[in-house]
Structure formats: C-alpha cells, structure tokens
Amino acid sequence: MAKAKTQQPHTGKSPTATPTAHATYHACYQRFAPLAADLPERDVEVCRADVRIAFANVKRGVQAACADLARIRRALPELPLDDVLALPDLGRALIFAATRITAKPASSREIDAKLKIVIELREPMLTLAETLAKRGLLPKDLVAEIRAGSGKYDLASDGMALAHLYAEHAGALRGKHPFTQEELDQLREASEWLLDTLTPEGARRPAAKQRGEAEKMRDRLWTLLVRRYADVRKIAYYFHGDAFEDVTPKLLSRLSSSAAEDESEEVEAEGDGSEDADGGGDRGGAVEQPASPPSP
C-alpha cells in the first residue's frame, strides 16, 4: 500500500492579502495543530467558550481592523500581521477540534456509507491508473503498491493515495480519464474520514481516548486564538483609541440572534467530514479575555 506524498508543513501564516476563498476546516486544523502543540503546558487555557461565537467575532474583528494593510504595516511594523490575517483559519481549526469532542463515535452505518463511496470509486480509478502506468503516464511502482493489501483501513489508504495521485499528475492526465473533480474530492474526503475513524486493524478507536486528545488540542488552539486576537485589538486601539471595542468585539461578545445565525452558516455548510459543527464546549462559561491593548 502506497502512502500519499506529504506536503511541506505549513508555517501557520497567511498570505499578505486576505484570500477570497478559505481552506477546509480539516486543512486548517492540520495547519495549526503543530503550532498549538508547541505551546508550553503551563500556558494552555481551558476553553469553556462557545467557539462559534468566538469565531464570528474573530472574523468581524479582523475584517474591520485590517481594512488597510499597508497603513498597519507602516504604523506597526513589529506586529505579526500575517498571524493576525490567519486568525479566521485558526478559528476554523478550533471549530473542527470542537466537533471532534462533541461528535458521537462513528456508527457502523456511517462507516459503511463512507466505505461504499471509496469502493465504488477505487476500482475504476485504480484499473485505469494501471493502464496509464503501463503507458508511462503514472509511476508503476506506486500504482502497484496501491493495488496491494486488503481490509477497510487499506481501502481508505488506497482512496487517499489515488486521489492524491490523480491530483499530482493532473497535467499529464488531462483529457485521459473520465473522473470529475467532484468524484476525486468525494474519494479523498471519504478516505480521510475513514482514516480518522478506523484503526489499522479496522476497529473504531476508543471514544474516551479520542475525546481526551481532542479536548487538549481544542484548549491549545483556543489559547493560540486568544493570544493572536489580542494583536487585532491592539491594531484597533492604535487607530481608533477608546472606540476600539466598537471595531473589535471581545471574543465572547454576543451578537444579535440574526447576526449569529448569519455567521454560523459557514460552519453549518462546511462539508469536510465533520460529524457535527455545533461548536462544542461548555456554552456561556466565562473565560479570560485578552488584556486591553496599551496606549499607542
């Protein structure tokens, strides 16, 4: 069984311009989890927040405070602006971590549904990949390794490897296969979900252990979010003075019900294999807010 080629680890920083489209919640989680894991244990804050409210306020705060990036860079050259611009994606990572806590263990029906997607797409894609490999368009050894092996976990690994293979060689394969991008995405997402849910032996992971690990990562991502959001409020204070809270709300400031519903639509529409995007955590609990920014 071949392993898909891994990409270089992300630095956790966003591009200098705000992107028009955001990455999947799972991709954001993979991006920020290593940074959160590096936080000293003594500095980690327990998250008792409604993370969806925090996420909505983060997006609003970054959008309002960072409207003029060039001006901010001139006025506050030492402030980590790239980290600030990455905050919405960090919020998505936090949402994803929270769903891993609140989600129930996957049922046999859910596993079978994902396996059905992988099985239906794997064989035609793999058969064609073998033909393309014979013609020198795909690496023969890699395709042969994908064909080898058996079992549910191996099927999921095959699906992820095939989706990656077709994506990596998209240029050489253009016009030479019938599979749509939607089918490739379905295969990748179902395979990743199965790899997250199954052990190599095919059994579901113990829910208690999974929950404990997920809670720790949620707390670490929350701590990272709190630290970085303090810089957003510094920007707002520098340019707006005492009116900075009108620009950058506190992380747990409650929106009107209609505004909260608008902000939660993105979470509810996210289709990255999350079982439930309800935000998780104990709702309404008090947490330590970032300190008020110092006078400029």
- Percent residues over pLDDT 70 in the chain: 72
Six-digit token pair at 152?
A: 């549910």
What is the reported pLDDT for 39?
Answer: 94
Residue 204, helix vs strand vs coil: strand
What is the reported pLDDT for 156?
Answer: 85
Query: 197 to each of 95, 161, 215, 229, 257, how far by Cα in Å?
Result: 18, 17, 17, 32, 35
What is the reported pLDDT for 160?
Answer: 86
- The whole-angstrom separation of Cα 1 and Cα 6 is 15
pTM across the whole model:
0.52
What is the reported pLDDT for 5?
Answer: 38
What is the reported pLDDT for 29?
Answer: 92
- The whole-angstrom separation of Cα 155 and Cα 118 is 7
128: which residues sit within 8 A by CB, 6+ positions away?
A: 177
221: which residues sit within 8 A by CB, 6+ positions away?
A: 32, 33, 36, 90, 93, 94, 97
What is the reported pLDDT for 69?
Answer: 92
| Cβ contact 239:293 at 8 Å | no
What is the reported pLDDT for 159?
Answer: 87
Q: Taking the alpha carbons of 204, 277, 267, 248 in that order, is the dihedral positive or negative? A: negative
What is the reported pLDDT for 234?
Answer: 92
Place of tokens 């999921």: 156
Query: What DSSP line would sit under 88-142, residue for residue?
Result: HHHHHHHHHHHHHHHSPPPPHHHHHHHHHHHHHHHHHHHHHHHHHHHTTSS-HHH
What is the reported pLDDT for 203?
Answer: 47
Tens of pLDDT, residue by residue over 110-167, are 888 989 999 998 889 888 989 988 888 888 888 888 887 677 888 888 888 898 888 8
What is the reported pLDDT for 167?
Answer: 86
What is the reported pLDDT for 273?
Answer: 40
- The whole-angstrom separation of Cα 77 and Cα 200 is 49
- The whole-angstrom separation of Cα 74 and Cα 45 is 33
What is the reported pLDDT for 252?
Answer: 81
Place of tokens 């690994």: 157
What is the reported pLDDT for 146?
Answer: 84
**Intervals of the chain under pLDDT 70:** 1-22, 102-105, 149, 199-211, 255-296
**Burial track 15-32 (b if 16+ CB lie within 10 A, e otherwise):** eeeeeeebbbbbbbbbbb
Task: Name the helix (H) or strand (E) containing 8.
Answer: none
